Chains A and B, each alone.
Chain A
Amino acid sequence: AQSVAQPEDQVNVAEGNPLTVKCTYSVSGNPYLFWYVQYPNRGLQFLLKYITGDNLVKGSYGFEAEFNKSQTSFHLKKPSALVSDSALYFCAPPSNDYKLSFGAGTTVTVRA
C-alpha cells in the first residue's frame, strides 16, 4: 500500500516567483505517484505521473516534479508561477486495489 502527505495546507507565492508544492510518500516497492490540479468550480485535471525511469517528470502547464527516492519526495514545481495557477493541488498514489487515494490537497494562491 502507498500513502502520501502534503505537509502544507496552503502555499502563497507572488506571480513570477518559483512555485513548489510538497509531497512525501511512504510505499513498499516502487511507487506510482500522480499530481492533479483542481481549478475553482472544475473537476480534477491530470498534471503528471511517475511510474518508472527518469526522476524528473514533465507535465502540463509548465509543471514538473522530481522523484527523490532518498528523501521519499515527489515535489511539484514551476519555475515562474502565474495567477492562473491558483488552484487546489493533489498528490495521489494508488491505494489498495489500484484506486487512486486523494488527500485534502494543497491550496495554491498566486498573487499578482
Chain B
Amino acid sequence: EADIYQTPRYLVIGTGKKITLECSQTMGHDKMYWYQQDPGMELHLIHYSYGVNSTEKGDLSSESTVSRIRTEHFPLTLESARPSHTSQYLCASSEVYSSGGAETQYFGPGTRLLVL
C-alpha cells in the first residue's frame, strides 16, 4: 500500500454545507491529483497540482476548489454541497520522471460523499 491518506473515508452531509476532503502523502511527491468516480464507473480528473502553489483544473468541470500550500497536503473543498456532488473522490500522487508520462500514480483509499 502506498503512503497516501484520505479523510474522512465516508461522509454524509446536508445540502448547503461546506466540506473539505483531506489528502496527504508522505512520499514527497510533487504531483498530486483529485479524481471523481461514480460506483463502478470511469475516473474523471477534476484537479491536479505540479507542486506547491500550483493548481490546475482537470478534464471534468467541478465546483470544488483545491489548494497546495504544502507538498504533502492537497485538500479539496466544496463551499456548498449539493446532491449532485454525491460521488467517490480519489486522491493520487506521483513523482516526476525525466521521461514525462511514465510516472506511476499512487492512490488513496477514497472518500465516499453522500449529500442529502
Seen from chain A, the residues whose Cβ lies within 8 Å of a Cβ on chain B are 32, 34, 36, 41-46, 49, 51, 88, 90, 94-95, 98-100, 102-105, 107
Contacts and interface: CB of A to CB of B under 8 A. Distances in A.
B45 interface: yes
A46 B104 contact: yes
Interface of B: 1, 6, 33, 35, 40-43, 45, 48, 58-59, 90, 92, 99-110, 112
27 contacts: A32-B102, A36-B107, A41-B110, A42-B109, A42-B110, A43-B6, A43-B90, A43-B92, A44-B92, A45-B1, A45-B107, A46-B105, A46-B106, A49-B102, A49-B104, A51-B102, A88-B40, A90-B43, A94-B100, A94-B102, A98-B100, A98-B101, A99-B33, A99-B45, A99-B48, A99-B59, A103-B42
B110 A43 contact: yes
Given A43-B90, A105-B42, A94 B106 contact: no
A104 B44 CA distance: 10
Given A44-B107, A46-B105, A51 B42 contact: no
